[in-house]
Structure 1
Amino acid sequence: MQKVKTDILTHRGSHFDLGVQTAQWMQQTPLLKNREKEWKKRMPRFDIHIKETYDIFQTYAPQIWEEIRGMQEVLNLPTNQMILNFAHYRFTPLKNSGCTVYLGRDYMVRNYDYHPATYDGRYQLFQPNDGGLAQIGPTSRVTGRMDGMNEAGLSMGYNFMHRKHPGDGFVCYMIGRLILQYCKDVPEAIQLLKEIPHRSSFSYIVMDKHLNHAIIEVSPRSLDVRYDRTCTNHFKLLTHENRNYTKESKERLDRLLKQTPNGLDKMHAFELFNNPEFEIYSKLFKSWSGTIHTTMYEPQSLKAYMTLGENKMPTVIDFEQWLNGQPLDIHSLYGHIDTDLTFASY
């Protein structure tokens, strides 16, 4: 059992200055060196187009481009390397993963299942002054988000479906960031997902402060919306897009459905996801589908819950208090995962 840690960083100000702060944090970790090692082990199966990537960011996320510029100011890397590592927009010229989501009456709880070597080990609270919504949540590949909540109460997570027949488009963790950055409610999230180009096939799960919720099934070719409260790793509507092997995903969904009665208390739901004995939490780290964190978001109270690893009470952060100027009194999160694989920032 390995002890793991996530740094909590806060920033109030511009996206450019956030990029500077982020790069300074990266310089204190081996994250970039570890990313370079990963690229050497598996060459990118996509192209880098600087002009096209710049243009797409000016259309959909100009502030995030400024964040990347701020990082470049500190890291002093060429633009093609910045795009490779931080822009997360892919051009066409796999690994399996998990993730489980349950939407309660007024909360969303989620397990993030993937490979520890891809995990930043960074949790971000960001209140921009130059456009976009304030956000809270764990970062993914530095500039992306794998789940989170924004100041409007919109909460988001995503689940992997497959990467066959990819298109030119944003990858999941940048799409998660765009949802939190620019959408205040479920209808706006659905509209954004209809407009932007998608690299791969994922389900995006959202809940807003009005307790509207949706599971948006997306591939590079199509999109559909369902209003269930559970999601694993297969489409229910875009079934023609499913990968060939969905048995494990369907079995995990069945276990989840059997253990989530109507009105399930939020802390019981969190335990259900975080305690391995309930068989929602996964230890398949070497298969790229081990549970690294469990998160929960309350859109109406703006409270965020986070636990690294298994069988641990969550840390609760009152995002609304932080937005109102109260400083955060914690700087790290700790937990244990049953693997010797290390985070990218170790």
Structure 2
Amino acid sequence: MYWRAMSEDQPGPKWAGLFAAYWPDYHAWWLKEGEAARPTYAQCRRALVKHMPEMAPLYDELCTLAGGSDHAARFLSFYCPPPYLSACSQAIWAGKEPVMVRNYDYNPNAFDAMVLRTNWQGRQVMGTSDGLWGLVDGVNDAGLSISLTFGGRRVVGEGFGVPLILRYVLQTCETAQEAGEVLSRVPTHMSYNVTVLDRKRNYLTAMMAPDRPAVITRAAVATNHQESVEWISHARFTATVERERYLLQRLRLHRDPEEKFIGAFLKPPLYSTAFNAGFGTLYTAVYRPRKRQMELRWPGTTWALSLSEFTEGARQVLVPGAA
């Protein structure tokens, strides 16, 4: 898999080039249920202004850079997109230097494979890109890190694709408490578990859903169910309960040193090669919010990135099990 790390302080030619390259595939995905299944531009922008008003000027700027088409603008709003599933595991290791560790399990053919560092609206953010301005994990210059897992429920409702919600949190929040308030009020179109860790070691996990209020917890571990298993076949296939128990044991009973705990994410039962069934582990990410640093890891490979000294580059990495 070919990965890139790109930095652009303000939306400009680099981002426009990315959009031009990725748009044909994203456009086909966005239309897979037909255009009428997606909200109109007026509905999309109205929802964005209502729930994430600080993002509206940035959204307008990106829509212009993307060429100003109706479909592109509706896609970039992330409002009521087509449903999508992932797996993923994430946990907080609360040592001397607290870290957030996560595995992202997804289809490699529907993935940006990019770390994007920006300084949009005066806030530095670095993270794993999704949808070209959304994020599936990341950290900001205030020392707040964030990550998501799928919540293991079939319900689809009116709300935003969660990668844009993660971007919104990092653009506007500095603490876990502030992030929790945002995650409690912004509607999501599917169920997700979002974990945040701030520079003062505070953390929380928000269990978000489109059909019920978000539940804010002190959970240090999140896999692919919420308070109970609701989608039994998905839970069995992804071994969500087994992965949760394994992580809790490592945190509570074994009390692994940091490197051993991180290393567990690159081995079964956390590490998956089930790409023939739709998704496997594309990468392991390690976030150190106090240092504003992240690492991407694969078996035998580590790529370290710093928000303050970000270096653009590219890597060809071997993802076991991926075509």
Which interval holds the TM-score relative to the shorter structure?
0.7 to 0.9
Structure 1: distance between partners of 2:161 and 2:28: 21
- 1:96 offset after TM fit, Å? 4.3
Instruction: Give the equivalent residue in structure 2 for 1:108.
Output: 100
Choose the corresponding residue for 2:164, options 174, 177, 183: 174
Instruction: Give the equivalent residue in structure 2 for 1:298.
Output: 288
Preserved contact between residue 161 and residue 242 of structure 1 (Cα < 8 Å): no
- 1:43 offset after TM fit, Å? 4.3
Instruction: Give the equivalent residue in structure 1 for 2:305.
Output: 317
Choose the corresponding residue for 2:87, options 87, 98, 102: 98
The one-character-per-residue Cα deviations of 1:122-178 (angstroms, maximum 9, x if unpaired) are 2111123x35x3211110011110001111111111110145332211111111111
The answer to whether 1:24 aligns with 2:17 is yes
Question: Structure 2: 5+ residue runs without aligned partners?
Answer: none
Structure 2: distance between partners of 1:120 and 1:154: 23
The answer to whether 1:228 aligns with 2:219 is yes
Instruction: Give the equivalent residue in structure 2 for 1:264.
Output: 256
- 1:186 offset after TM fit, Å? 0.9
Q: Please, what is the CA RMSD of the aligned residues?
A: 2.5
Structure 2: distance between partners of 1:207 and 1:271: 20
What is the identity, as a one-letter code, of the residue corresponding to 1:318?
Answer: S
Residues 198, 95 of structure 1: alpha-carbon distance in 2 compared, 3 angstrom cutoff: closer
- 1:254 offset after TM fit, Å? 2.3
Residues 47-62 of structure 1 aligned to structure 2 (within 5 Å)? 47-62=38-53
> What's the TM-score once normalised by structure 2's chain length?
0.88
What is the identity, as a one-letter code, of the residue corresponding to 2:89?
Answer: T
The answer to whether 1:123 aligns with 2:103 is no
Aligned length: 315
- 1:70 offset after TM fit, Å? 3.7
Instruction: Give the equivalent residue in structure 2 for 1:344.
Output: none
Preserved contact between residue 296 and residue 305 of structure 1 (Cα < 8 Å): yes
The answer to whether 1:148 aligns with 2:138 is yes
The answer to whether 1:211 aligns with 2:201 is yes
> What's the TM-score once normalised by structure 1's chain length?
0.82
The one-character-per-residue Cα deviations of 1:281-307 (angstroms, maximum 9, x if unpaired) are 111123333111111111212221113
Residues 60, 116 of structure 1: alpha-carbon distance in 2 compared, 3 angstrom cutoff: same
The one-character-per-residue Cα deviations of 1:17-68 (angstroms, maximum 9, x if unpaired) are x1543122333x3x22222344565547842221122122223445644444
Instruction: Give the equivalent residue in structure 2 for 1:243.
Output: 231
Structure 2: distance between partners of 1:333 and 1:43: 36
Preserved contact between residue 184 and residue 216 of structure 2 (Cα < 8 Å): no
Instruction: Give the equivalent residue in structure 2 for 1:6.
Output: 3
Q: Which moved more, 1:154-163 or 1:35-44?
A: 35-44
SS at match of 1:210: coil
- 1:249 offset after TM fit, Å? 0.7
